[in-house]
């Protein structure tokens, strides 16, 4: 689910390329955050997909300390310093929740929305997404990223 890619290997330090699963809302939101100059935070998504060798109970324990894992993003170039191959949540530093994820693979930053693999519904850092049409809230204990 790639939305936007920022590549470190070109002359322009932050060129943007729209990929196959481009989501204009996510792109515009992140562009607004970056243009505003506000401090952003990146928090690793603690999942088996990101950390395949870590037992699920250890990931669940560490997930309780998300606040302490916030990685500050002062300017767009800071995204390139994120750990390679790990997807994390991206949001304004003073926010509590987000539905925007970000990761770096081989020197390229990917910005994307996150969907539940079972239902296809949007997911957030807090694991719930209220569905206006049905009045339902996803069960955060049943999410899979």
∠ Cα 110 115 120 (to 5°): 140
**DSSP calls for the chain:** ---EEEESSSSSSS-EEE-TT--HHHHHHHHHHHHHT--EEEEE--STTT-TTS-HHHHHHHHTTGGGGPEEE-SGGGGGGSPBT--EEEEETT-S--SEEEEEETTEEEEEE-B-TTT--B--TTS--EETTTTEE--GGG---
Distance CA(38)–CA(36), nearest Å, equals: 5
pLDDT score, position 58: 93
- What is the pLDDT, as a whole number, of residue 72? 96
Nearest to 25 by CA among 118, 110, 99, 135: 99
pLDDT at position 27: 86
How high is the pLDDT of residue 114?
82
Compute φ and ψ for 141, nearest 5 degrees: -80, -10
Per-residue pLDDT of the chain (145 residues; tens, 9 = 90+): 344 555 444 334 456 666 666 688 888 899 999 999 999 999 999 888 889 999 999 999 998 898 899 999 999 999 999 999 999 999 999 999 999 999 999 888 999 888 777 887 888 888 754 443 444 444 444 434 3
Token pair for residue 143? Answer: 């999410």
Q: Residue ranges of the domains in the chain?
A: 4-139
pLDDT given for residue 49 in this prediction: 87
In this prediction, residue 21 carries a pLDDT of 67
pTM value is: 0.74
The answer to whether residues 6 and 16 touch, using CB atoms and an 8 Å cutoff, is: yes
């Amino acid at each position: 689910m790639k939305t936007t890619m920022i590549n470190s290997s070109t002359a322009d330090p932050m060129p943007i390329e729209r990929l196959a699963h481009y989501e204009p809302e996510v792109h515009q939101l992140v562009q607004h955050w970056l243009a505003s100059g506000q401090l952003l935070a990146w928090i690793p998504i603690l999942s088996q997909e990101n950390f395949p060798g870590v037992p699920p109970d250890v990931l669940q324990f560490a997930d309780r300390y998300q606040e302490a894992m916030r990685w500050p993003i002062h300017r767009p170039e800071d995204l390139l310093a994120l750990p390679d191959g790990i997807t994390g949540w991206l949001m304004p530093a003073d926010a509590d929740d987000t539905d925007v994820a970000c990761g770096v693979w081989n020197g390229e930053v990917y910005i994307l929305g996150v969907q539940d693999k079972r239902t296809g519904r949007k997911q957030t850092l807090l694991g719930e997404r209220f569905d206006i049409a049905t009045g339902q809230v996803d069960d955060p204990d049943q999410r899979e990223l």
